[in-house]
Amino acid sequence: MRVSWLTTSGLTLGMIMLAAVARAQTAPAQTGALKAVAASGPSTVGEIIVTARRRAESASSVPYNITAVSGATIASENLETPNEFLRTVPGVSVVDRGPRNAGQVDNARIRGINVDPTGLGDYATASVSPLSTYINDTPVFAGFLLKDLDRIEVLRGPQATLYGSGSLGGTVRYIQNEPSLEGFSGNVKSTQSLTANAGALAWNGDLTLNIPLSSTVAFRGTVSRLYDPGFIDYPNLYNIGPNGIQPILSSGATAPSPSDFHSAKDVNDQRTWYVHGALLWQPTSALKMVFNYTYQDDHVGGRQAISEGTDGFGNPYGRYDNGAVVKEPSERKINVESLEATYDLGFATLTSSTSYFDHRGESTTDNTGFYGHLIPGFPPGFLYYFSYYTPKLLPLTLFINSYSDRAVVEETRLVSTPQVDQKLDYVVGVFFEDEHRSAMSQNITPGFEETYYSEPGAIPGFVAGDQTFFYHRAEHYQEIAGFGELTWHITSRLDLTGGVRLFHDQDVADALIGGGSLTRNNVFAGNDTSLSVTRPLGKGNLSYHLDQTDLVYATVSEGYRRGGSNAIPITGPQKEDPSYLNYGPDTTVNYEVGVKGNHFGVNYSVDVYYIDWTNVQVNVSTPTFGYYAVVNGKSAVSKGFEGELNGALPYGFAWSLGYALTDARLTADIIGAGNEFTHIPAVEGLKGAFLPGVPYSSVNLALSNTTSVGPNMTWSNRITGYYQSMTYNGVTPGVQYLTMDPFCLWGISSSLDWKAMNVTLFVKNLFNAEGVTGVFSQAYSGSDVAANFYGNDSRETIVVPRTVGVSLSYKF
């Protein structure tokens, strides 16, 4: 089913016209947003107004755990990426892969809900993220730069009864600034910085303009250009021949020598364009329509990861060295378009969001070490035909991964306007998504065909070209859902909320696959497979206002992630066990009790939770031929504690403190089907294993001071800290089951504001901590002299080292 932009936009406009007719027959009422804030009780100084429950209210009034950060705070702290921001939120951890593939695999873990290994990230996984991410009202994971935002809201726990896109662990909402009719304004900002081991300055320039075009129409736009020279060095790059792809081996040699390699500095450079434009039309106080367009274009030269140990010559790698034998660039482009319309009916607000996104990218991976370690394990008959590495050529295997994701999404909801003494409030909505995803992987071994036919006993016609493997997977997903919540104000202090979501989804996938040493006939299609699910989800919440500022609550909510089809071959020369063909949805039940409020000028929020996760999805490689697949385990549990405190002190000081304890682990083994040759079951995870990339303890803190130093001049200083305890990189026993050390990141900044100008000096990662957040082990892909591979494809993803910078901005 193909849904056009014209069709969905027409639906949006039609609903708004119906809403206008309905409103004409109702009595006028107070503006919904103002009434919601008034009804929520007094808010503390500096609190952010959020729309987590689809109506405007203070964050302290939301009866579950939410963290909201204003766009002004994000800009003042020079937070550029989602990874930087999410690390400031208690209970959230990230695998920091840097800008390479940043929009391809969701790096975040809320309350530990993720089983995928931390080394994963070079290809588009079949399963979707356990989190839902929104750009305004568009459910899309994009990894956009943080530019001109009104705020970011992080909602912990499943939110399926409030949002069209369901989730297992939580929701992250990036809310962009809307155009204003109040007058012309703008901001220009320039940032320069120097990162440890980088050979040049990084710079970033932003221009934001707000332009009223009439009394009812306004435009707001941001253009940003970012250049980062990178800081990762590649000392083992092959010398490439005149054809541009084949490595050169020293004349007459049977093994590499140092002269066959060269080095390059700052390989992980980044060049990014970001554009956001919004057009507002507000013909009446009740009707508002906003068209948003957001675009980002990334070009990244290599990965933000280092190699441990030594190369094949015994030379140890430096602190910022990566042992890949070729550069590993990536690029991607994403467009998000949306039309969001709201109409105040008086008794309720009708909102319709119609959106379309197109996200696609490609990356190159050095896969030589993987094959060097893998091939000796093949049966003897396979070893000859898979012998890519010979004395005549330097071994080289490239993995070219590409992906695309495009969808049309429609979400319409009706939200009641709170009234004094009103007993019932409600949110009801419908959601529709039509998504097409595809992923393609090509394994290229330059010189493979030439080398094979130079060997005695080569079989004529057996090898065709240097593409030794390819996999193309196409998926079509559709979902239609109804969702809603009803709140009963039992007394002026006691509220009871019930929520439900009823949905039907369908996933259809197929694949085109070529395996091993390709012949011209060894290409076949994977089975067309489909999976369809219809089911309800529920939520219950009880909250009690102890007084005007203190709130206690208890919540039980269900989360859901869709299942799908792996579309792998179950017949033919590359067959796998049929049990890998489909994977089912997984679900969570989140139990949470918390209290929040304000005392003596201190805002606080504390909760404990227990999450029961069943039918756990995990991305794996099939045991025989290593196809990408998702399998279901039985169960996992995440339980923990989260606390946030913030307040003000005399003389312009302010402080915040956050702590999270997360105990997330498997409660049953994950066992896959056996290898087609050995028939030994694949052990994908063991009971008791801690979930990957999730620290048991994490701490966030900040202390700031702002003081007046002259007429129209203020001076602000800030120090921030983040600590996370030891983490694991996976749940699979063996060479990939490793631990990552604790680390602590500190930052400082000093800002001078004079009239409309701001100058900020900042240092990130002040003590230059080497924070490792993901590992791909040496035993799996390190140097292998026996295979003639003298590079090293093991990698540890690390946080950005010490960065010193200055930003200048001017508002007009």
With beta carbons less than 8 A apart as the criterion, state whether 783 and 323 touch: yes
**Which domain CATH number covers 403?**
2.40.170.20
Whole-number Å distance between alpha carbons of 484 and 482: 7
E strands, 111-260, where? 131-135, 138-139, 149-156, 170-176, 185-195, 202-212, 217-228, 234-238
Cα 176 from chain centre? 18
Q: What is the pLDDT of residue 34?
A: 31
Cα 548 from chain centre? 37
Q: pLDDT grade, residue 11 (50/70/90)?
A: very low
Burial level of 245, CB count in 10 A (0-12/13-18/19+)?
middle
With beta carbons less than 8 A apart as the criterion, state whether 795 and 772 touch: no
Q: What burial letters (b/e) apply to 39-49, b meaning 16+ CB within 10 Å?
A: bbeebbeebbb
Query: pTM of the predicted model, to two decimals?
Result: 0.90
In this predicted structure, the answer to whether residue 18 has a pLDDT above a threshold of 90 is no
In the chain, how many domains are there? 1
Site of tokens 């979400």: 411
Q: What is the pLDDT of residue 421?
A: 84
Bridging pattern class, strands 398-416 and 424-444: antiparallel
Lowest mean pLDDT among 1-10, 98-107, 737-746: 1-10
Q: How many C-beta atoms surround the C-beta of residue 31 within 10 A?
A: 15
**Coil, helix or strand at residue 35:** helix
Condensed to tens digits (0 to 9), the pLDDT of residues 620-636 reads: 888 877 778 899 999 99
| Joined tokens for residue 51 | 């729309």
Lowest mean pLDDT among 1-5, 46-50, 184-188, 563-567: 1-5
**Mean pLDDT taken over the chain:** 86
Condensed to tens digits (0 to 9), the pLDDT of residues 518-565 reads: 443 444 555 566 778 889 999 999 999 999 889 999 999 999 999 888
Q: What is the pLDDT of residue 19?
A: 38
Whole-number Å distance between alpha carbons of 551 and 548: 8
Owning domain of residue 124: 5-811
In this predicted structure, the answer to whether residue 753 has a pLDDT above a threshold of 60 is yes
Q: What is the pLDDT of residue 752?
A: 97
Q: pLDDT grade, residue 436 (50/70/90)?
A: very high
Among 286, 289, 410, which Cα is nearest to 347's? 286
Lowest mean pLDDT among 43-52, 56-65, 357-366: 43-52
| Joined tokens for residue 33 | 């947003």
Q: pLDDT grade, residue 295 (50/70/90)?
A: very high
In this predicted structure, the answer to whether residue 269 has a pLDDT above a threshold of 90 is yes
Among 361, 440, 437, which Cα is nearest to 399's? 440
Lowest mean pLDDT among 253-262, 419-428, 606-615, 657-666: 253-262
Q: What is the pLDDT of residue 533?
A: 86
Residue of higher predicted confidence among 256 and 379? 256
With beta carbons less than 8 A apart as the criterion, state whether 65 and 607 touch: yes
Start-end of H helices in 40-77: 71-76
Q: pLDDT grade, residue 248 (50/70/90)?
A: confident
Q: What is the pLDDT of residue 10?
A: 40
With beta carbons less than 8 A apart as the criterion, state whether 595 and 550 touch: yes
Residue of higher predicted confidence among 70 and 31? 70
Condensed to tens digits (0 to 9), the pLDDT of residues 102-158 reads: 888 888 999 999 999 888 788 878 889 999 999 999 999 888 999 999 999 999 999
Burial level of 395, CB count in 10 A (0-12/13-18/19+)?
buried
The string of DSSP codes covering 698-744 is EEEEEEEEEEEEETTEEEEEEEEEEEE--EES-SS-STT--EE--EE
Cα 636 from chain centre? 22
Q: pLDDT grade, residue 428 (50/70/90)?
A: very high
E strands, 107-182, where? 108-110, 131-135, 138-139, 149-156, 170-176
Q: How many C-beta atoms surround the C-beta of residue 182 within 10 A?
A: 9
Q: What is the pLDDT of residue 384?
A: 37
Among 806, 803, 717, which Cα is nearest to 194's? 803
Q: What is the pLDDT of residue 110?
A: 95
| Joined tokens for residue 805 | 């910078």
Return phi, psi of residue 453, to 5°. Answer: -75, -10
Residue of higher predicted confidence among 8 and 254? 254
E strands, 518-578, where? 523-525, 529-545, 551-561, 564-565
Q: pLDDT grade, residue 8 (50/70/90)?
A: very low
Site of tokens 């749940």: 731
Bridging pattern class, strands 424-444 and 348-366: unpaired
